[in-house]
């Protein structure tokens, strides 16, 4: 399209020789080409940027953190078995990819000294509004690789974020620089193992759903909720795939947060499901030591490492 545009401009210059108003011609050509340019730009946008844009939209719709979704009970579940919320008291903490700020508020409730909260998407405004102790929080609208390299943080958390970044290496390197020696980096990622049936379904659906506008995706999510609720009830009695997650997490969520969880699986342009080896390799390659993994509820990976 660019070459075409340039050729057209050259022709327009030639025509101006013959007293044709070059300015007018140029403006009309730009007007005609603009829609194609915008189309190309959106399609050619890197997966990372598209995903950030998707989350900006998601969090402007699902803005709140109320109930079990933002609770200390869920925070303990996320940290288990590597940390207790008590260990964060008086610590300097960062969270990479804060979304609407539920983890930041959990960290604050656990008694952290201060928190650096990074969120690159338009959800940044929602994040700033949702923070419960703003005097203790430094909100930064930036991607994880731009985390300031202060080297004094006790903990960095990244919950449900790295699997949405096509190349997470620069983010892990930034975390390594920002943390103090002896400080720890805890990440939570979607897992591949134990998810075969679910992943097949989600992968198939995502081919369509990541391209849907909000109203269509939202309608689909409402439809999907019904079979999922039925499955959740079956999980109370039968040992089915994802039973542990269904009973200990999904069932405790409000109907709105259940819809958010389904939306969150189907919305982002980029999602990767990690094997255990890939998950721990992220931190090992990032020079973290004593890297340990936990298969959380049999469907995802919690990984923790220490900076030597
Ligand atoms: C699934 S949400 C998780 C939000 C939050 N951690 C939570 O658990 O509620 C993923 C977040 O990561 C953010 N994100 C995406 N790409 C990122 C990047 N390169 N650096 C930092 N954050 C990113 C998205 O904007 C989104 O808010």
Output the pLDDT for position 194: 80
- Residue with CA closest to ligand 1 atom 19: 143
pLDDT-derived band at 46, boundaries 50, 70, 90: confident
Q: What are phi and psi of 95, to 5 degrees?
A: -120, 130
More confident residue, 196 or 44: 196
pLDDT-derived band at 23, boundaries 50, 70, 90: very low
Output the pLDDT for position 158: 98
> Does residue 62 line the site of ligand 1, with CB under 6 A?
no
> Does residue 268 line the site of ligand 1, with CB under 6 A?
no
More confident residue, 160 or 1: 160
pLDDT-derived band at 41, boundaries 50, 70, 90: very low
Q: Can you tell me the distance from the alpha carbon of 167 to that of 97, in angstroms, rounded to the nearest whole number?
A: 15
Average pLDDT, the chain: 88
pLDDT-derived band at 141, boundaries 50, 70, 90: very high
Percent of the chain with pLDDT over 70: 85
Output the pLDDT for position 45: 57
Q: Can you tell me the distance from the alpha carbon of 292 to that of 280, in angstroms, rounded to the nearest whole number?
A: 7
- Residue with CA closest to ligand 1 atom 10: 161
Nearest atom (ligand 1) to Cα of 65: 9
For CA atoms 284, 286, 287, 292, the dihedral sign is negative
More confident residue, 293 or 18: 293
Check if the beta carbon of residue 189 is closer than 8 Å to that of residue 293. no
């Amino acid at each position: 399209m660019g070459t075409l545009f340039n050729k057209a401009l050259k022709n327009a210059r030639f025509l101006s020789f013959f007293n044709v108003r070059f300015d007018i011609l140029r403006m009309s050509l730009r007007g005609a080409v603009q829609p194609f340019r915008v189309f190309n730009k959106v399609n050619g946008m890197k997966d990372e940027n598209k995903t950030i844009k998707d989350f900006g939209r998601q969090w402007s719709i699902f803005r709140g953190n109320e109930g079990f979704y933002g609770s200390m009970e869920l925070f303990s579940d996320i940290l288990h078995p590597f940390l207790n919320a008590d260990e964060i008291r008086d610590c300097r903490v960062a969270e990479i990819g804060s979304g609407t700020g539920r983890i930041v508020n959990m960290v604050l409730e656990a008694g952290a000294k201060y928190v650096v909260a990074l969120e690159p998407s338009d959800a940044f405004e929602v994040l700033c509004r949702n923070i419960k102790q703003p005097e203790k929080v430094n909100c930064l609208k930036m991607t994880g690789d731009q985390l300031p390299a202060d080297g004094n943080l006790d903990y960095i958390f990244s919950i449900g974020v790295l699997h949405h970044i096509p190349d997470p290496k620069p983010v892990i390197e930034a975390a390594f620089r920002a943390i103090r020696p002896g400080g720890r980096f805890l990440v939570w990622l979607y897992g591949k193992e134990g998810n075969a049936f679910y992943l097949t379904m989600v992968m198939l659906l995502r081919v369509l759903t990541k391209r849907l506008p909000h109203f269509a995706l939202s309608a689909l999510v409402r439809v999907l909720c019904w079979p999922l609720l039925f499955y959740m009830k079956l999980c109370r009695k039968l040992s089915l795939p994802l039973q542990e997650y269904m009973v200990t997490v999904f069932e405790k969520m409000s109907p709105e947060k259940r819809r958010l969880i389904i939306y969150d699986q189907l919305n982002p342009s980029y999602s990767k499901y990690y094997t255990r080896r890939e998950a721990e390799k992220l931190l090992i390659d990032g020079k973290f030591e004593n890297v340990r993994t936990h298969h959380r509820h049999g469907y995802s990976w919690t990984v923790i490492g220490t900076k030597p």
